[in-house]
Amino acid sequence: MCGAPGLGPRDICKACYQSLPINDLACQRCAIPLPQSTTALCGQCLQKPPPYQRCIAAWRYEPPLDYLVQRLKFNKDLSAARVMAELFAEHLTKRYPNQQDKPDVIIPVPLHHKRLRERGFNQSVEIAKIVARHMGIPLDLRACTRVKMTQPQAELPAGQRKQNVKGAFAFHPSQPAAPGGRIALLDDVMTTGHTINELTKTIQNSGQYAVEVWVCARANR
């Protein structure tokens, strides 16, 4: 980020590491940033809770974390994926001190094959590979596919994003994502949550799965 030497095993200096916007004040269900510390849910989750069990978001989507995300997605800087993934794995390890509490499998949010060909990589997969290795959890890259070529969510107003991803995914139950298992869906950033909600519903329509969401950063509504 600033170019200074990294701190210990991290490829980020102490000052930059401490400047990352930790998402410690957040809704306990969807991880949306809240103005003050609370153990309660946000208003939207109280009225209409999301289909997944909970969301874990390490940071808020603010500077300088957004700089790392944009370097990865738009400048093909895979070193940014490695930095975020290793720091995210540190965060998740603290949230799961016991092996038996961890999900059975990690599934990164898939890209449509045309979008994957254009970009050359899936940023969620690059992050998930490192997180899975650090967490000791299997990674499943085949269970979920994106069957509908959608317009990028970032280009649409919030009101159109839900319809944009309607029917966009397919789920093919297999090992290690066996029926009845616990699945962690992993993505880089969560904004409105429509993409994650649609993918969760697609999975749950195929069986009794316990789904939670892991995202590096959570944007404010």
Q: Give the CATH number, domain containing residue 37.
A: 3.40.50
Helices 78-95 and 123-135, packing angle to 10 deg? 40
Say if residue 72's pLDDT is above 70.
yes
Kindly state whether residue 4 falls inside one of the protein's structural domains. Answer: no
User: What is residue 122's DSSP assignment?
Assistant: -
pLDDT for the residue 38: 63
Kindly state whether residue 26 falls inside one of the protein's structural domains. Answer: yes
Q: What is the mean pLDDT of the segment spanning 155-172?
A: 80
Residue for token pair 């949010």 = 109
Kindly state whether residue 190 falls inside one of the protein's structural domains. Answer: yes
CB–CB of 164/194 below 8 Å?
yes
The four Cα atoms 44, 48, 51, 52 give a dihedral, to 10 degrees, of: 40
Kindly state whether residue 2 falls inside one of the protein's structural domains. Answer: no
Q: What is the mean pLDDT of the segment spanning 68-91?
A: 94
Say if residue 154's pLDDT is above 80.
no
Strands 169-171 and 144-146: antiparallel
- 3 state SS of 108: strand
Q: What is the mean pLDDT of the segment spanning 156-184?
A: 82
pLDDT for the residue 120: 94
pLDDT for the residue 47: 94
Say if residue 176's pLDDT is above 80.
no
Model confidence band, residue 10 (pLDDT cutoffs 50, 70, 90): confident
Q: What is the mean pLDDT of the segment spanning 134-151?
A: 91
The four Cα atoms 22, 27, 31, 34 give a dihedral, to 10 degrees, of: -50
pLDDT for the residue 39: 65
Kindly state whether residue 102 falls inside one of the protein's structural domains. Answer: yes
Give 101-131 pLDDT, tens digit per residue: 999 999 999 999 999 999 999 999 999 999 9
Structure tokens at 180: 């009845």
Return mean pLDDT, the chain.
91
pLDDT for the residue 40: 85
Q: CA 44, CA 46: separation in Å to the nearest integer?
A: 5
Kindly state whether residue 3 falls inside one of the protein's structural domains. Answer: no
Kindly state whether residue 193 falls inside one of the protein's structural domains. Answer: yes
> N- to C-terminal Cα distance for the chain?
26
CB–CB of 196/162 below 8 Å?
no
Overall residue count recorded for the chain in this entry: 221
Cis peptide before 64 (omega within 30 of 0): yes
Say if residue 37's pLDDT is above 70.
no
Helices 65-75 and 123-135, packing angle to 10 deg? 120
Could you tell me which residues are beta bridge partners of residue 186?
108, 214
Total domain count, the chain:
1
Q: Give the DSSP H or E segment for 94.
A: helix 78-95
Q: Give the DSSP H or E segment for 133.
A: helix 123-135
Task: Please give the sequence-ordered ranges of beta strands (E in DSSP) within the chain, or none if there are none.
Answer: 55-60, 105-108, 144-146, 169-171, 182-190, 210-218
Domain that holds residue 177: 14-218
Top-ranked range on mean pLDDT: pick from 2-6, 83-87, 166-170: 83-87
Could you tell me which residues are beta bridge partners of residue 183?
105, 211
Q: What is the mean pLDDT of the segment spanning 77-100?
A: 94
Say if residue 179's pLDDT is above 80.
no
Model confidence band, residue 155 (pLDDT cutoffs 50, 70, 90): low
Kindly state whether residue 6 falls inside one of the protein's structural domains. Answer: no
